[in-house]
Chains A and B, each alone.
Chain A
Amino acid sequence: MEILGQLLNTTLVFSTALIFAALGGIFSERSGVVNIGLEGLMMFGAFAAAVGGYYAQEAGMGEWAPWVGVLSAMAVGVIGSLIHAVASITFKADQTISGTVINFLAAGSTLYMVKLIFDGSGETPLIDGFSKVSIPGLSKIPVIGEGIFNSYPTTYLAIILVIVIYFVLFKTPFGLRLRAVGEHPSAADTLGVNVNKMRYVGVMLSGMLAGIGGATITLTTTGTFAHNTISGQGFIAIAAMIFGKWNPLGAFGAAVFFGLSQAIRNYVQLFEWSKSIPQEFIFMIPYVLTIIVLVSAVGRSSAPKALGEPYDPSKR
């Protein structure tokens, strides 16, 4: 039982970054802008969190330093996403291409700046990240207490955001407009919604959230930023978003699923029966399962209808 609680806890640690980034992806894609650049936006966030957190720590901010890291990640994530927004919305560039550009610029510029700021070092100095916070009372519940209510503050934030964003998207006028712009931009335009403005908002929110996602990795897992800090997490977040059918709750489920599979790696060696299975097959499980689940249950994808199409009022 104890191990189950620990497994759940580790699962959430690995899921948190994916949840943030997938939520970001949902904002962008629900507004009709493909965001292949989540990987790069996470990289920007992870970098900014490491640098911002480092300087805040140097300035003696103690426990608040990681939060400065999160704020820097949000800001840098938004700036990064603006490149994507300008290219794909204003200049009507192919959205897949401009998302790829974000990945490229992020990989290049973050390491360039790390080397510039820290005298040629390929890695930022190690900082103290967040520590786990147990919620009084709730953390005493068996399994769930250890698993959920003794987590990093970012994990709590992620779970709260899933619910908040679900309501924002599906129960508020803003959410309705955002989705309308992604489904049928010309109709939304006729009703007086500023299509391009909504899309800018969607993309910038995606940059902000993916930035926090990246920050989560440096501030809870690695403690530093280097070239391999993100390595594919952004693409997994995209998968989680599609897997979750562009719905915050679905994406949350998918992110936890991927987090679980990463966590299983840490625990699988503990059991006698699992030692005989080659480790590669255990590593493969989540990816194979994803495909199987997609084939058997989920079926046709339900992407926003106008996803990937720049809005051109003259073609209405």
Chain B
Amino acid sequence: MGDLKKTPLYHEHLRLGARMVEFGGWEMPVQYESIIEEHKAVRTVAGLFDVSHMGEISIKGNDAVAFADYLVTNSVSTLKNGEICYTPMCNEKGGVVDDLLVYRISNSEVMLVVNASNIDKDYNWVLERAKDRDFSITLSNISNQTAQLAFQGPKAEEILKEISQVMLDEISFYHFTRGKVNGIDCIVSRTGYTGEDGFELYVSTEAAVPLWRKILEVGASYGVKPAGLGARDLLRFEACYMLYGNELTDEITPLEAGLKWAVKFEKEFYGRQALLEQREKGLEKRLRGLELLDKGIARHGYEIYADDKNIGWVSSGMLSPSTGKRLALAYVKKSYWKAGTEVFVKIRNKLVKAQVVKTPFYRGSVKSKA
């Protein structure tokens, strides 16, 4: 794993005995002790994640908001300063270049938070789009100067309060503020990707270790655990949040992925024409939840059958610890979309019975939908 990038918390992970894996070009902790225990800690108390591998792109200038609005499908111009939106960013065919968060810092400053594996692709994409029109903006990839911690769980606020100089209860869901936590300058946002209430903290790389240690120290008596990518994947899956590379790719549109709510057709954005045409024509495939009725676990890439035809594929599948069910997210062809429809997942040459079910699979303590 010699050539992989490391976050400022790399040595903390080793010290905690984490098992490290390659993820999107980074060497990251997949688990510290047990994925299931870390999952449980986040669902019941809180867990602390190092998400410093995520990328940050800064857009500054008079046209920062207009440019961001052109870049992504969701609306940035209708956000207030201090608000955040989740959004796809599309190519000309309507396929998803990446799914990201847009932080509206001021009328002339916006921050994009992008997936680790897409940082270079996204930054190049943003640079290209900046040439489309005469935008008055300055772009910078600030990923290397920024560390990010995600503190997630129903008790996250109560615990973080002990060391926060920011009024956490004044930050509503998908809002952020700048201030100090344990004396460290942060952007604190009420966001996350686990289905639970919680915060994401952006700090300078030098501040990552002291903040990480302090949160684990004050959280220890509550049962807070450091949580790795394994737990993160399970949690986001139960909440039916997209994982880029699984549910979303350059070939999949937000409409197919069920992200219509984050596509604002009433404004201009890159890829709009293709998405309008798709909306007009109707979808051929879309993301659905499946529950396996027979034994087995559906994994990414497994094929789905019905009426002796291949009618789709699994994008993510796991045993969900919160529900005890064997569940999957899957792209399914038209006429097999209705909840209750019986389909089969091909698991190692065996057809395993499953049925289409409603999503999300699990609702946690998260305050409301973005």
Q: Do A and B interact with each other, yes or no?
A: no
